[in-house]
Chain A
Amino acid sequence: MTTSSETVCPPGTVITGKWQKNQYIVERLLGRGANGSVYLVYRRGHPDRYALKVGYDTLELQSEVNILRALNRQLPSSYFIEADDYKSVSGEAAFYVMRYVEGVQLHQFIRARGREWLGLVGLKLLERLSSLHSLGYIFGDLKPENVMVSPYGSVELIDYGGVSAPGRSVKQFTEWYDRGYWNAGSRTGDEAYDLFSFAVMCIQLLDEESLRGASAQLPQIRSVQDLEAVLRKSSQLKPYAAWLGRALGGGFANSREALNAWKKGVYARAVPRKRNKTPRWLQRSFFLSIVFAGAALYLFLKT
């Protein structure tokens, strides 16, 4: 296999494409994964920044590029920019350039901003998944590390290395989020597979402790019932429990239905309702203003 397992590009490295001859300058490392290292780069003479992934394996990377190309043809805003090869001192490596997605990974976002954001962020993620499904793809390796969230909760999927067509085997998966790991169904890609991963992810984001407990089961008796038990017990999961239970059990016909159910149930409940009563802070400030007015009147009359 054509591998160049470790191509390290320190800041300032100029990556010149062998075929298209475009030049990218490395600003910093964004992250490393199982398939490659991703750098923040800019093009010489252009202000725009991009994310550039240097693959560990030419074939795997090309396989990802093929998916991204196909998606690009169908999407209005393009994510994929170009693919090329880079010759460095340590050998030759394939790379591709994509849109730089600003933000933080989903779990970091929820940790920093609070669990009450899950309603909105979950909704946006389900929208993403559902549009990917409607194009005829299953995401596969859905996990918090592969979901980027911007400061205002807009959501973007990254890492299309696990994407496959429905009916084909899921290309990449990660234990916790894998339906097979929980003995809850096959590893053949379908919309329910992504919804299952989505549900486990929600459990993790709301109550990681309990998820860890459930996964500590012996593998031969580990089952989706362990997750359902967590749904019943955990108070943090309560508002989401019905929806999550359905996703874990493969109860949604497709992701569109799952999205609608999320909107109707979970999301509606998670969004703070308008209160009929005057909020306390307003009452308080009203009271204070009366006091001030009285004091002012008193002072006025005294003089």
Chain B
Amino acid sequence: MKQILLITDGCSNIGPSPVMAAAHALQEGITVNVIGVLDYGTIGELGELEIREIAKAGGGLHQIVGTSQLARTMQMMTRKTVVQTIQQAVNKEIRQILGGGSLTELPPEKRAQVVEVVDELSETSPLQVALVIDASASMKPKLAAVEEAIRDLMLSLKARAGTSRLSVYHFPGRGHGEDLVKDVDWTENLDGVRGLFGRLQMKGATPTGPALLKVIDEYRCGTLEHNQSWRELPGQEEGMLGDYVV
């Protein structure tokens, strides 16, 4: 399972549309979640609209929260999305096996079995989450909280039975036209890592769209050998439900 978690506090203002970028991500099998963080004021109608649209296009969830709720929100979103991804795949199989029907249409016995499978796979399937942090000027006071929340998320991911990897990016970069900086490469552990964000140059530009596209690229090339998703797990090509239900 592949996820992108975008953390931002406003509107993008350069380059291709982030909504389109998110749609590309979904096409590549990557779910895009978006959290808008702000402590005072409002994110603005446009900002809110963008956050919602990115998540919709990316097949994910979105929420606007204060920094104090950031860690909790990231953990719950990631978890929910894992379950959702598994459930969507399982639903497809339910349809094949039972000829239509969503979870509520399933009789209690079958439903119990299906959910057992979903729970099991949600816990054990390999998971990758790329964190994409908006580090434009207005985000500066929130970055300490963002870093804490990322460490907290790593702690939750480490507790899973399945392999879980996390990577961290921020945007914009230092030089001209640098849309994305990789802070932490795929890792299962942040314990030794001091200061997630290196030297940051806070600029006003917010190239959310280009940054997302770069991360999709990273997913495509950089992580092939680790990039085993649950679909490619040995023995499960036959269908995940096969052994359990029917």
Nearest-Cβ distance from residue A155 to partner chain B, whole angstroms: 28
For chain B, residues 105 to 153, give those with C-beta under 8 angstroms from any C-beta of chain A.
107-108, 111-112, 115-116, 118-119, 123, 144, 148, 151-152
**Partner pick for B148 among A62, A94, A187, A219, CB 8 A cutoff:** A219
Asked if residues A94 and B104 are in contact (CB atoms below 8 Å), the reply is yes
Residues on B with beta carbons closer than 8 Å to the beta carbon of A169: 123, 156, 159-161
A59 to B116: give the CA distance in the assembly, Å: 10
**Partner pick for B116 among A66, A167, A180, A188, CB 8 A cutoff:** A66
A125 to B156: give the CA distance in the assembly, Å: 27
Q: Does A85 contact B (CB under 8 A)?
A: yes
Q: Does A84 contact B (CB under 8 A)?
A: yes
Asked if residues B103 and A83 are in contact (CB atoms below 8 Å), the reply is no
Residues on A with beta carbons closer than 8 Å to the beta carbon of B112: 62, 65-66, 69
Q: Which residue of A lies closest to B111 (CB)?
A: A62
Residues on A with beta carbons closer than 8 Å to the beta carbon of B87: 1, 59
Nearest-Cβ distance from residue B155 to partner chain A, whole angstroms: 5
Q: Does B102 contact A (CB under 8 A)?
A: yes
Interface centre among B102, B111, B118 (most CB of A within 10 A): B111
A193 to B134: give the CA distance in the assembly, Å: 35
Nearest-Cβ distance from residue A171 to partner chain B, whole angstroms: 8
Nearest-Cβ distance from residue A187 to partner chain B, whole angstroms: 4
**Partner pick for B158 among A19, A59, A84, A186, CB 8 A cutoff:** A186
Asked if residues B84 and A1 are in contact (CB atoms below 8 Å), the reply is yes
Q: Does A6 contact B (CB under 8 A)?
A: no
Q: Which residue of B lies closest to A193 (CB)?
A: B159
**How many A residues have CB within 8 A of the partner chain?**
27
**How many B residues have CB within 8 A of the partner chain?**
27
Asked if residues B159 and A170 are in contact (CB atoms below 8 Å), the reply is yes
**Partner pick for B104 among A63, A66, A92, A186, CB 8 A cutoff:** A92
Q: Does B83 contact A (CB under 8 A)?
A: yes
Q: Does B72 contact A (CB under 8 A)?
A: yes
Nearest-Cβ distance from residue B112 to partner chain A, whole angstroms: 6
Q: Does A168 contact B (CB under 8 A)?
A: yes
Q: Does A77 contact B (CB under 8 A)?
A: no
**Partner pick for B108 among A19, A186, A188, A219, CB 8 A cutoff:** A19
Q: Does A2 contact B (CB under 8 A)?
A: yes
Q: Does A116 contact B (CB under 8 A)?
A: no
Q: Does A90 contact B (CB under 8 A)?
A: no
Nearest-Cβ distance from residue A129 to partner chain B, whole angstroms: 20
Asked if residues A180 and B152 are in contact (CB atoms below 8 Å), the reply is yes
Nearest-Cβ distance from residue A53 to partner chain B, whole angstroms: 15
Residues on B with beta carbons closer than 8 Å to the beta carbon of A220: 144, 148, 151
Q: Does A175 contact B (CB under 8 A)?
A: yes
A13 to B5: give the CA distance in the assembly, Å: 42
Q: Does A58 contact B (CB under 8 A)?
A: yes
Asked if residues B156 and A2 are in contact (CB atoms below 8 Å), the reply is no
Extra pairs beyond A1-B87, A59-B83, A62-B112 (4, CB < 8 Å): A65-B112, A84-B108, A169-B161, A186-B155
Q: Which residues of B contact A (CB under 8 A)?
A: 71-72, 83-84, 87, 102-104, 107-108, 111-112, 115-116, 118-119, 123, 144, 148, 151-152, 155-156, 158-161
Q: Which residues of A contact B (CB under 8 A)?
A: 1-2, 19, 58-59, 62-63, 65-66, 69, 83-85, 92, 94, 167-170, 175, 180, 186-189, 219-220
Closest 10 A-B residue pairs measured CB to CB? A169-B159, A187-B159, A62-B115, A188-B159, A219-B148, A180-B155, A169-B160, A58-B103, A2-B104, A2-B103
Ordered by A's residue number, 7 sampled pairs between the chains whose C-beta atoms are within 8 Å are A58-B104, A59-B118, A62-B112, A66-B116, A168-B161, A169-B156, A180-B152
